[in-house]
Amino acid sequence: MNTTIVAFFNNKGGVGKTSLVYHLAWMYKDLGLRVVAADLDPQANLTAAFLDEDRLEKLWPDGNHHPNTVFGCVQPLIRAIGDIADPHLEYVEDQLSLFPVELALLVGDLSLSGFEDQLSEVWPKCMDSDERAFRVISAFWRIMQNTADRHKADVILMDLGPNLGAINRAALIAADYVVVPLSPDLFSLQGLRNLGPTLRRWRKNWQDRLTQNPADDLELPKGGMQPIGYVVLQHSARFDRPVKAYKRWIAKIPGVYRDAVLDESGDNNISVADDPHCLALLKNYQSLMPMAQEARKPIFYLKPADGAIGAHSSAVKKVYSDFASLAKAIASRIDVKIP
């Protein structure tokens, strides 16, 4: 049985996507699920959030031989000497969560960008029933499923870079569901307008290619990429804009999401608070984020010893509540049962 993959993606960077995946991975772990966090962004920021520099130095030694990363898994394909290699499971240290369930990380790699050209090259070859082309295009999905099988995972959360290149096309084809992180600004809305038509085009193109698979023993992703909603993240850097501008952009989000991503018409006057497609409106975390980064833990695990005292202590509890609600909202839409 294949494990559900949820991609977190927006064509616009800087919206807090990686932080969202990081915190949700810890929250699902806290709620008792077995989670794989898959870092398919060549910038590898999710991996850097989970692991300290000493561990990263061991996983990313000098040169391009990184057997314990996602790039190591695709090396045999890149070198045309075989299929994907067995994935390494990096188990992240427990942070005194409520359930003693391990969290597994599929380690990202800055060298992954070197796979982009090959993914672009083989995409059209799938229409010629080229078996190797299908093995290359489906590599990410098969690596993640192998990782999930070994971890006995309930869900895979996938972090992606903010572009519409060949790496993200192959990664999104692997996704069953897509969550769109947003900021209330012009750039996020333009990213939405680019994202929706692209997802539909990639979905259709992959369905056309699936019929050309020449290998009966090669299981391939279905390419569902079903959008299940968006998350609005408000950052302190955004609050230097006039209130009018903020209200203007946040008011546009429901209509643009419905039109561009869902390709549906509807009431464009609905507010974010009332929009059923809005999974969460996450507030500004002020000084909690740098505090959490310094402590190398999620915001909702911060303790007085980390500096979370007074008003910060109350804010930590609010962040826990916000992420627990978001995690449950996503789980309900992807049919993943929380214990």
Place of tokens 């070994």: 150
Q: What is the pLDDT of residue 25?
A: 97
- Per the structure, the count of domains in the chain is 1
Task: Tell me the pLDDT band of 251, cut-offs 50, 70 and 90.
Answer: very high
Task: Tell me the pLDDT band of 138, cut-offs 50, 70 and 90.
Answer: very high
Place of tokens 């839409």: 333
- Burial (CB count within 10 angstroms: exposed 0-12, middle 13-18, buried 19+), residue 130: middle
User: Do the domain assignments include residue 313?
Assistant: no
In whole angstroms, what is the distance from residue 150 CA to residue 144 CA?
10
Average pLDDT on 6-12 reads 91
Task: Tell me the pLDDT band of 287, cut-offs 50, 70 and 90.
Answer: confident
Whether the per-residue pLDDT at 64 is higher than 90: the answer is no
User: Do the domain assignments include residue 314?
Assistant: no
Strand partners for 5: 156
Whether the per-residue pLDDT at 240 is higher than 90: the answer is no
Which DSSP symbol is given to 261? I
Task: Tell me the pLDDT band of 219, cut-offs 50, 70 and 90.
Answer: very high
Q: pLDDT by residue (tens digit) across 16-46?
A: 899 999 999 999 999 999 999 999 999 999 9
Q: What is the pLDDT of residue 95?
A: 47
Can you point out the beta strands (E) in the chain?
5-8, 35-39, 90-92, 103-106, 155-159, 177-182, 226-233, 278-282
User: Do the domain assignments include residue 339?
Assistant: no
Whether the per-residue pLDDT at 52 is higher than 80: the answer is yes
Q: pTM, whole model, 2 decimals?
A: 0.94
Give the sheet arrangement for strand 35-39, strand by strand.
Answer: 90-92, 103-106, 35-39, 155-159, 5-8, 177-182, 226-233, 278-282
User: Do the domain assignments include residue 306?
Assistant: no
Q: How far, CA to CA in Å, does 174 sit from each of 59, 83, 192, 256?
A: 25, 17, 20, 25
Task: Tell me the pLDDT band of 120, cut-offs 50, 70 and 90.
Answer: very high
Whether the per-residue pLDDT at 97 is higher than 70: the answer is no
User: Do the domain assignments include residue 298?
Assistant: no
Strand partners for 258: none
Strand 155-159 to 5-8 pairing: parallel
Strand partners for 288: none
Average pLDDT score over the chain: 91
Contacts of 87 (CB under 8 A, 6+ apart): 70, 73, 106, 143, 146, 147, 150
Distance of CA 245 to the CA centre of its chain: 29
CATH code (residue 264): 3.40.50.300
Q: pLDDT by residue (tens digit) across 298-338?
A: 999 998 888 888 777 888 999 999 999 999 999 999 999 99
Q: What is the pLDDT of residue 11?
A: 83
Q: What is the pLDDT of residue 235?
A: 55
In whole angstroms, what is the distance from residue 33 CA to residue 25 CA?
9
CB 18 within 8 A of CB 317: no
Three state DSSP letters for 304-338: HHHCCCCHHHHHHHHHHHHHHHHHHHHHHHHCCCC
Range of the domain at 90: 5-288
User: Do the domain assignments include residue 309?
Assistant: no
Q: Which residue has the higher pLDDT, 96 or 304?
A: 304
Average pLDDT on 111-133 reads 97
Average pLDDT on 89-93 reads 88
User: Do the domain assignments include residue 323?
Assistant: no
User: Do the domain assignments include residue 108?
Assistant: yes
In whole angstroms, what is the distance from residue 289 CA to residue 119 CA?
36
Q: pLDDT by residue (tens digit) across 140-187?
A: 999 999 999 999 999 999 999 999 999 999 999 999 999 999 988 888
In whole angstroms, what is the distance from residue 215 CA to residue 129 CA?
9
